[in-house]
Amino acid sequence: MPLIGGLLTLGAIFTPAAYYFESSGHLIFWMWGWYDRLGIWDYGMAKGLISDPLILNIGTLCTVLIIVGASIFIVNSISAAFMFRKGNRFTKTVLWLWFLCGILLIIAPFFWMVMVQIFPPFSPIPVGSDPPLNFWSVFFPSWAVITPIITGALSCGIIIYNILKKM
């Protein structure tokens, strides 16, 4: 299970983290700072890195944490599979590592979502709009934010279930 979750999470890094669509265009964000804009604010098309260094650094840090957590899942799952084939049982170290990586995969996207909410890089809604809107009332979370949370929750949940089952 952690191997599949790790592979899905690594693949999700290349998908958008937040998006906004309307009939005249779209605005799409990746967690690591790339954005794609078409027709929003009548500026035409634009692609590039977010100019706000705070959000760019936070997004890059969260992306690196997710890549590290998913890579540990993958490598550790493969080595645990070889261990299991030889007749050995999973050690507590392997289970603790999966649990900690699961926590890391849950915390990193949530941290990015909170920081983007506090310091929004763009907003397609004017600042003086009524009612005042925030980043997540306009944008929708996408696969790059959802997948690490699901992977981390499933990993932690399975480990907690196995620990409680042994009691």
- pLDDT reported for residue 43: 63
What CATH number corresponds to the domain at position 17?
Answer: 1.20.140
Share of the chain above pLDDT 70, in %: 88
Please tell me the predicted confidence (pLDDT) of residue 124: 54
Count of domains forming the chain: 1
Angstrom distances, CA of residue 74 to CA of 2, 3, 63, 99: 7, 5, 16, 13
* Separation in Å, CA 67 to CA 10, 31, 60, 63, 109: 6, 12, 10, 6, 12
Picking from 21-35, 53-67, 125-139, which range would have the lowest pLDDT averaged per residue?
Answer: 125-139
**Residue 47 token pair:** 């692609």
Q: How far is residue 9's CA from residue 145's CA, in Å, rounded to a whole number?
A: 9
Task: Give the CA dihedral 121, 125, 126, 130, nearest 10 degrees.
Answer: -130
pLDDT of 132 > 90? The answer is no
Taking the whole predicted model, whether its pTM rises above 0.85 is answered as: no
Domain housing 121: 2-166
